[in-house]
Amino acid sequence: MAERTMPDKTEADPRDSKKDAILEAGIKLFSEKGFAAVGVRDIAKEANVNISMISYYYGGKSGVLKEILSSFFSEYSELIRKIVDISDDPPVFISNLVDAAVPFFREHSRQAIIFAVEMPVDSSDITEFKAEKMRNLLNLFRKVFAHAGLPEGMEDRLIGIIGPSFFSILFSHFLFYPVTEQTFGIRKNDEFYELYRNVVKTIMTGAVKELQLSFGRTGIS
């Protein structure tokens, strides 16, 4: 599909404003209404561009989603890679991870919601694309746990359980925000995210400790 020639300029260009506007509109609308519920008309209107531009720049609605997920995931991967590189001590790693991930998710909360919400969804068109991203993400978990001080010989199934758990701890706030906002009076300000970072760190630290006690054959370092 969408085998038409389309401009594939990577250089930042003031003339890309329309292309970017489409992406921004997609992020906003997909996160609010879900991919399938958003029409190209909505995106075009939100981005203040002609409808045809979506096909033109991204080859269609799915192309917009792919671009969003792709760039979100590669930024997130890069972030994890950096944290892994600079952290040699498990507690330090967890602290660094949360310190980096929370602002990242705060900055990209809409993308995180899209990522989470569209993840299990089999949308035929981009299913394989998403599956690949997810496999990459899950493989990231291996690295993370090796540095988080979890048992070295931990079997795959454990990673398959703990990985999603920790990942979801990190973004569950953003997923639930539309409702917690009203119910618990949460406001997205710096003060709140300071508290949030501490809580997530505490949860993860406690979880890791206990996992080591229960599943670790040998403490690490």
Partner DNA sequence: CATGAATGAGAATTCATTCAT
Partner DNA sequence: AATGAATGAATTCTCATTCAT
Q: Does 52 bind a second copy (CB under 8 A)?
A: no
Q: Provide the minimum distance between the beta carbon of 168 and DNA in the complex, in angstroms, as a whole number.
A: 29
At residue 82, the 3 state secondary structure works out as: helix
Which residues from 80-119 bind a second copy, rule CB under 8 A?
A: 113, 116-119
Q: Does 134 bind DNA (CB under 7 A)?
A: no
Contacts 24+ apart (CB under 8 A), 107-112: 108/72, 108/75, 108/76, 109/31, 109/174, 109/177, 110/27, 110/28, 110/30, 110/31, 111/27, 111/31, 111/68, 111/69, 111/72, 112/72, 112/171, 112/174, 112/175
Q: Does 172 bind a second copy (CB under 8 A)?
A: yes
Which residues from 178-217 bind a second copy, rule CB under 8 A?
A: 178-180, 182-186, 192, 195-196, 198-200, 202-211, 213-215
**5 vs 218, which CB is nearer to a second copy?**
5
**Amino acid identity at 197:** R
The interface partner of residue 167, options being DNA, a second copy, none and the CB cut-off 5 to 8 Å by kind, is: a second copy
Q: Which of 20, 33, 52, 176 binds DNA (CB under 7 A)?
A: 52
